[in-house]
Structures are given as structure tokens and as C-alpha cells.
Amino acid sequence: MPSIDFAQYVVERLKQCGIRYVFGVPGDYNLELLDYVEKDKDLTWVGNANELNAAYASDGYARVKGGPAALITTFGVGELSALCGVAGSLAERLPILHIVGAPSRTLQGSHALVHHTINVPNSFATFSAMSRPISCSQALLSEIEPLTPTTWTDAFDKVFKDVLEQCRPGYVQIPTDAVHYKVSDEGLKKKLPLPSSAPPVDATATALPPDSHMETNAWRMSIERKPAPLQDVSDYVVGEIVQRFQKADRPIVLIDACAGRFGMAGEVGKLVENCKIRYFDMGKAMLDEQSPLYGGCYAGGNSLPAVREEVEKADFVLYVGALRSDSNSGAFSIKIDPKVIVELHSFTTLVGYASYPTTDLRHILPRLTPALSNVALSKSTHGKSFRGQYKVEPPGKLKGEQIKHEWFWQRMGRWFKDNDVIITETGTSAFGLINVPLPSHSTYVAQVLWGSIGWAVGATLGCALAATEEKHHRRTILFEGDGSLQLTLQEIGTMMRRGLKPYIFVLNNDGYEIERQIHGWAAEYNNIQPYDHQLLLPFFAGKKAKTPLESIAVHTPAELEALLNNKDFAQDDKIRLIEVYMPRGDAPVELINQGKLTAEASRR
């Protein structure tokens, strides 16, 4: 039986799943593993400033690539630094494979007091136990005796398969003495699934959220019974959905983040275009926002009035890939009649009040488009297109001497190009673009649920690297607050080291504006030490960086207008930091509304 080093098996699996860049920080327990990554001509070791940023970068890479990302850290101090970022990937359903280099099996077995341990009993198991609740699957090779040449490769493949099917992080701990251990390469002949591949029934059941309302006694009893054939269940569910659609006069499709995570946004696009159904989203740019069928972004009470009226009066709502949080639902102010909703999830299908947990959106959507096509011919669309509702200020109409959110975001919307990758930080940026129509093939990246400030800088590194792998040239554009920037700005240096040239718009409004809007309007804790942002790029460039750079400061609408009209500025031929001065206390109306809705929800 042919054999290879275990570390080489890992490298080959990463490449088979389309990974080209590997994120992380070197440490003495992972160095020999990194030798295999570095010597491979198809993989690039990115090398991050710290493990938290590496986790954020892998998150961004997975979002734009639409596939898995790999994160490698060292035991203890390294892996713990990454956990906030990994937890965010769990919350927002990103397939991140977290590989941890650990002390040898001999050292672990003898309970040696080695560096990076915490000097308590069972110290070697402590850190993997911390990762367990935020991992869909784990393999600790130090606890698995390699009885056959495939024992360890099967364990690794099991975790990676779970990561891909569930779009959640997984954890593999590799002791130093396992790196060169000879294993069978037979597993490499078996392809691992893509996130868009419909999993078997048992995998769908396994993927149920641990605390889900689905996990009732009745659910457990249904698993104990012999399940009905998946084909029969799927056909039945599709029939139920078609019957409801036939009776509807005002049908709509509502698409959310998990449709994109599981590779189904394109399938939803086919459905709405073939059937001419109005669609709305609870995120951004998952489908074409320039289409006349697109009605806008629905966020409960934080929606545009026309959007809210049409969605909440619909008599059939196909809700695909729900990731409902307080941020994208107007603090849970959604008012859609549950009886008219069909929800397609990654682990179940809900039709009204009935649930079908052996099906998921990957089983149902490909069947649903042809089934609805004939029925849809008799349906007519309602309401204006989102572009028709959107009011654009004339280019020459500049208000005052201060750059305010009301004008800023709509002006940026006119500057965006097709294929742009647009990243917004948690805070004013994430809310500013909600009601701005984006170009047809743009990608919008935001952390709606986890909301970790500083995430967007690290994520931009991953997004920009993923964009380099695509056939069409894509600009990468980051909007970052001056407060959030201070948490992770070191990764700008990594961008320059890797020759990336994103636009970094730093919104300088003198501190944590989103926090002020929530509470503490004049509180000292919402203030920050002001940085001289014009010095950042030269500082990170040092004396050896070859990436061209440009730092710009704009104080007035006229200055920003002139910059955005500059044809040279539109070419992303250098890394640019654009410092946008905005008045303290100003915020997008969507953020102000969200604050009010959140306060109301807290009083209920």
C-alpha cells in the first residue's frame, strides 16, 4: 500500500478542496508541519501578525471564495488567540479547518510540564476542550492510536467532511511526532463534499443545532423509526410548497446569509428569474440588486416603508437560508405571518408549522425551480424595483462643509463597480450601505451576527487574497471605523507584504460612534486615542515593502467628490488609505433606528 507522510496527506487534502492560501502564525509545535505547506508550489503560507487576525482572514477568505479556509496555529497560546475569530465563523456558518500543532504524544502521555501548558492536571486536554463547543467536529491524534495506515487519515477526513457539509469550523490537533508519520494515501482517491453538495440523511440530522427547537422528544423518536426514503420526503415537501405557491397572489422570496454559505445563492437566482418572483434579502448582494425583481433589504421595523409593506403583506414567503439576528431583523421586529412562510434551512425544511428535518435547502431548491416554473407564468410581480425606490442626490448637490452619512453612502454607491468586493466593519459602516443598491456582480461582506469590532481588517486580507484567485479582476474596498481599526490594524502590513492593493476607507468620527448611539453619548469609555492615520501606510511599509501606497485625507463633500471623480483613483494600482473626517454624533439613519428598536425590545 503506497504511503506518504501524514503532513503531506493534509496538504494534498487542502489543495483538493480548492485552498490556495493558508493563514496562521508559526510556533515551535507547528513548524515542521509548515515546512510541508511552504515547500508546496500550489499553496502559499500567508503569515499573519497574530492568530486573531489569522482567524478573521480565514473567515473573509471563505466568504469570498465560497469554500473552505485553513487556519494553522500552535498549541495553547496560539490556538486560544484565534478563538474569538473561530467563534465568529461558527456563528456565521463558515467552513474553517483549524489545525493545531501540539507537543508529541510522548510528552503528552508523560504529562510533562512543557511551555504553553498551564500547570494543572490534564493540561494537554484543556485547550481542545475550550475549542469543542465552537467546533462541529474534532480529531486529537494524540488520543487516537494509529492501528492501521488509514486510522489518522480517516479521522482527519471525518473532521474536514463535517466542516464542508455543515459550514462550521472543525478542529484537528497534530502532535509533532505525527507530522512525518507514514500513512496510506488511499483516502486521497475519495473526494470530499462541497458545501453545495446535498448531504445524506444522517449528516443532515447530525447538523441540527444542539439547542434547536427541532431537538424535542418527538424529533428523537422520529430518528429512532426507520426514516422514509429521502426522495419521497423531498418530493412530498416540494409538492406542499407548490400547492401553497399556486394559491398565492403576492408571493415573494426572502434570501439570507446561509443560502450563500451553502452555495445555493445561484440556485435561488435561477428560481426568481425563471419564475419572475419578487425577491428581498436580509443581507446584501447575494442576488442582483439591479434587477427589476429585487425589492430591497428587509430588516423588520428597520426597513424602508415600501419594502416592509410589501414583505409583510405577502401571502407566500419562501425564506431561504435564514440567519436571523437582532442586527438584520430590526431587533426581532419581523411581522410576517408564520402560516405563509416556507423556510429552507441547512438542516431542515419548515412549511408553515410543519417540519421535515431530513431535508435541507440543498435537497429542495434544485427540485423546486422546475416545479414552480409552470405555475409562475400566471403570477404577476408587485411593487417597484429597489432602484426605483432609491433616491439619488444629483452629483452636483453637495451639502455643507461636513461629510455626513446621509450623503456619504449614496455617493459611495455611485462609485462602486461591477465585481467589487465591499467589506464593512461592525458599526456605522455595516448599517450605512443597507439601503444602497450595489452593482450586479459585487460581493458584500459583513459580520451580521457575531459583530466583533476589528474583524473587517483581518477579513479584508482574506477577501483580497480570494479575489486574486478569480478570473475577473476585482477591487477590494474596506470601510472601517477609527475605533475598530485600532484592534487589528497590524494586518495592513500583511496586505502590503503580499502585494495586495485594497482601498481602506477609515471613517474618522473620533471614537466608538455605534456605542455612543446605543449608550454613553458623552462617556469617556467611548473615546479613543486618536491616531495619525496618514502615517500608517508608510509605517507598515517599512524600508523593504514594494507595494505602491497612497494616503489621502478628505474633510468636505467637495474634496471627496473630486477624489471619487478622479479616474486614476478608480484604478486599484496601489494600496490606499482614505481618511474620511465625519462629525462626531452623526450616524446612518438605519443605525439610529436600530438603536431605538433595540431599546424597545429590551423593555419588552
Which residue numbers are catalytic? 28, 51, 115-116, 451, 482, 509, 511, 515
- Decide if 505 contacts 408 (C-beta within 8 A): no
User: 596: Cβ–Cβ under 8 A, 6 or more apart, which residues?
Assistant: none
CA distance 375 to 55: 46
CA distances from 183 to 108, 188, 367, 601 (A): 21, 11, 41, 56
CA distance 145 to 563: 62
CA distance 61 to 76: 24
- Which grid coordinates are listed for 252? 415573494
CA distance 101 to 90: 21
Residue with cell 468620527: 509
The neighbour count for residue 541, using CB atoms within 10 Å, is 18
User: 102: Cβ–Cβ under 8 A, 6 or more apart, which residues?
Assistant: 29, 75, 108, 124, 142, 173, 174, 175, 176
Task: Cite the beta strand spans of 103-234 per DSSP E.
Answer: 138-140, 170-175, 182-184
User: 561: Cβ–Cβ under 8 A, 6 or more apart, which residues?
Assistant: 395, 398, 411
CA torsion angle 466 544 492 507 (round to 10) = -120
Cα-Cα end-to-end distance for the chain: 65
User: 595: Cβ–Cβ under 8 A, 6 or more apart, which residues?
Assistant: 517, 518
- Decide if 410 contacts 387 (C-beta within 8 A): no
CA-closest candidate to residue 307, choices 330, 325, 287:
330
- Decide if 55 contacts 134 (C-beta within 8 A): no
User: 105: Cβ–Cβ under 8 A, 6 or more apart, which residues?
Assistant: 141, 142, 175, 177, 178
DSSP 3-state of 443: strand
CA-closest candidate to residue 250, choices 344, 340, 343:
340
CA-closest candidate to residue 97, choices 142, 126, 67:
67
